[in-house]
Amino acid sequence: MAVLLQDLLESTVTRLLPHSDTPQLDAQVLLAHIFEKPRTWLLAHTGLAPDDRAAARLEKLVRRLEQGEPLPYVLGHWEFYGLDFQLTRDVLIPRPETELLVDSAINWLKRPGEGADGQGRIVADIGTGSGCIAVALARNVPDIHVVATDISKAAIKVARRNAKKFDVLSQIEFLTCDILPKYDGSKTGVRQFDLVCANLPYIPTEKLRRLSVYKREPTVALDAGPDGLDPFRKLFNLVPEWMAPGGRILLEIESTAGAAVLSLAYDAFAAASMHLHRDLAGRDRLLEIQLPAD
């Protein structure tokens, strides 16, 4: 008797129950990925009998999930800000809460105005990872130029592929460095930034080791040192020289670290105005720093 798509779906759900909070959804996404169809198609064709090749591929992917590999890595792609980004285990999985940063950046960039030297605005995406922030900004604000940095050469390769996929490679310059290089516009060829966006590592080391995400996603993109503030200290040490007058900085933060990051920011930009934004769950998630115009 032929094994039907419905049978595969039900058996996959059963196998994923111990490993997922959403086994039904994950099973549907996995099968839709295998058949390269939307989930609506899958649910409308549960009476089909898949061939052995599809069943074997499903078995291989389910085993990876059973071994603890996150679903986005198994699929090799994940949606962020309405775009389907390619992923490898070298980059952090994009999170919905980061869309708050992207929304804020786009709203500011679309206001009337020019860059510091009368040209299009220059944006930095620090710790670009998959490139999801840089690409989302470039797609939605075509007249900007983005400088995307990451300490990981492997992550930069993934980000570059995503920029090419969404046809914004000409808008984005990639730099491999820790946060930012020492400012020297004459050597880098990059003008000062009108906007800096950063989704830095922000989880304290000991807390990270207790989380399920530990060793499942790149530690370099998560571990922020003993108190969770080391990357912010580095940023605030380097970024002031890079900022154009009237520039803005948007930083995603750990929900309990708002006051601490705010204190560091005031030390670096005493004359700036600052605001903490909350995510949909009501937690501090985004620090906005607005520099004076002169």
Regions in the chain scoring below 50 on pLDDT = 118
pLDDT of residue 120: 80
Q: Which string of b and e fits 105-123 if b means at least 16 CB within 10 Å?
A: bbebbeeeeebbeeebbbb
The per-residue pLDDT for 119 is 63
The domains found in the chain, sorted by start residue, are: 5-68 (1.10.8.10), 89-290 (3.40.50.150)
What tokens appear for 68 in the block? 């603890």
pLDDT at 146: 97
d(CA 264, CA 234): 11
Amino acid symbol at 8: L
Instruction: Check residue 4 and give its pLDDT.
Output: 84
Sheet holding 193-198, edge to edge: 172-176, 145-150, 122-126, 193-198, 243-252, 284-290, 273-278
pLDDT score at 170: 96
**pLDDT number for residue 1:** 55
Q: Which of 107, 103, 104, 109 shows the shortest CA–CA distance to 171?
A: 109
Q: Which residues contact 248 (CB under 8 A, 6 or more apart)?
A: 108, 194, 195, 196, 288, 289, 290, 291
